[in-house]
Amino acid sequence: MPSSCFPLALLHSRCMVCIMSRASSQLAFFLCGCYMAALGVHAGEHYVADHHKAGYYVAAVYEHQSILSPNPLALTSRKEALELMNQNLDIYEQQVMTAAQKGVQIIVFPEDGIHGFNFTRTSIYPFLDFMPSPQLVKWNPCLEPQRFNDTEVLQRLSCMALKGEMFLVANLGTKQPCHSSDPGCPNDGRYQFNTDVVFSSNGTLVDRYRKHNLYFEAAVDAPLKVDHIIFDTPFAGKVGIFTCFDILFFNPAIQLLRDSEVKHIVYPAAWMNQLPLLAAIQIQSAFAIAFGINFLAANIHHPSLGMTGSGIYTPLKSFWHHDMESSKGHLIIAQVARNPQGLVGTENATGKMDPSHSKFLKILAGDPYCEKDAQEVHCDAATKWNMNAPPTFYSEMMYDNFTLVPVWGKEGYLRVCANGLCCYLLYQRPTLSKELYALGVFDGLHTVHGTYYVQVCALVKCGGLGFDTCGQEITEATGIFEFHLWGNFSTSYIFPLFLTSGMTLETPDQLGWENGHYFLRKSRLSSGLVTAALYGRLYERD
């Protein structure tokens, strides 16, 4: 199974390089050219001379189509391994130089981008650099190349950072000798790690993070103690770092954000998209919105393996790239606020007197003027709901057995429950489309390709018109909704997953707690809804 994240959803969407924004946001804007390959369009370059204005910095992420070993299981020499890795590093260097011309201050490269994946513990060994601890050794590999053996990759990365005068984040394989007296020491006498490295703009090795939550990575070890890595930058303050599958777990991802000064995360990934809930751009954007931070995510680019989806995400505005057709890498550059503005005060923008929000609040309050049962609500005589209680059904989604109800009609109020979680949907549709949508709930332990406990409320477009198609992987939709989605979650760690037609993103109008329920509110969708979900994680039940 390739690399480190999700088994496989081969999306059949067109290339998508996009900007997502709330109309009220003044946060950031595109600096680089966007290429929409399938459309044959070059979206113009937007650039300002004053790209280092106060309160902002310029960031880049590169989605890299890596040159892979033709036979990762075969034993090879260090010389041959370096020949392959240098081909990828040549591309990295080109991107750093391009980014430098745009005034980029930090660039992020993806997981597995230099050496590839699908190795055994033995076959990956020639690809590994020796990694001294940055906590113990201050070292500039570019200026001190002879200090340690087997550090050729680190030397090249250091020189790129120095030449480009920018912070550089990259992922590589590293090795660390250990002694038999160490109870954790593997039988071959060395630790092997999936490692992110950070270099400053003068090429100094600032820090390193060794991946903790491995995804079927038999070639490497998890460190005995979790690395909680926060590094300082002159332009963004404190920045945290973790890798790919880590995003779904408490350590180190959530633990890092307990430091209130961490407003930025850099995130190398090799993520295999899985719809309808865990496409790369979905979870990356959701993490930024949920925690009110900037999230710089670089994914690997291998469309045949379902691997694409990178971006620079802020709570209110995002720049992303998703492309299942092109075989080329893609550089995203954006100007980002040092102090990101979250989804706060958004209720003032539309006002709580909005009729749909008033109705939502009445339902939650158990208003005596609202007659409600499991499926429908009548809040006053003027509102007529034509909802015959729809049938409950079951369907597999994300390898989990969801309980669902169909979403019929132009307006309605629905409830569906499983275990202790009840999910609710209050919705209106300006026009009906010939598509089946469903409201689903899952409250339980996910056990396929990783074990972790989730609570999920999801409004999804089904693959066809049959109930058994709900939960299938689709990317195109025409259904427009104005809605409130909420549930009685028993966790505060809830990620708003939003996906619209053609692998595009939307930002919620409002998120938050109301009367013991967490809700998501959205109106004015710009394209058809594929998925709107609240994805809760109960880390303590893993």
Q: Which residues are catalytic?
A: 111, 211, 244
Kindly list the distances between the CA atom of residue 493 and the CA atoms of 230, 397, 455, 531, in Å, as whole numbers in the listed order.
21, 21, 10, 19
Contact 416, 440 (CB under 8 A): yes
Kindly list the distances between the CA atom of residue 299 and the CA atoms of 129, 247, 263, 306, in Å, as whole numbers in the listed order.
22, 13, 21, 11
Q: Could you give the angle at the alpha carbon of 90 between the alpha carbons of 88 and 96, nearest 5°? A: 105
In angstroms, the CA 370 to CA 121 distance is 63
Edge-to-edge strand list for the sheet holding 421-428: 411-418, 421-428, 482-487, 517-522, 510-514
Going by C-alpha positions, the residue among 46, 171, 53 that lies closest to residue 108 is: 171
Percent of the chain as helix, strand, coil, to the nearest 5: 15, 35, 50
Beta bridge partners, 417, equal 422
In angstroms, the CA 297 to CA 322 distance is 12
In angstroms, the CA 299 to CA 450 distance is 20
Residue 173: CB partners within 8 Å, gap ≥ 6? 115, 124, 127, 128, 129, 192, 193, 194, 195, 219, 220
How far does Cα 536 stand from its chain's mean position? Answer: 15
Produce one character per residue of 499-523: b if its CB has 16 or more CB atoms within 10 Å, e if not: bbbbbbbbbbbbbeebeebbbbbbb
The dihedral sign for the CA sequence 309, 329, 194, 320: negative
Bond preceding residue 252 cis, omega within 30 of 0: yes
Residue 132: CB partners within 8 Å, gap ≥ 6? 139, 148
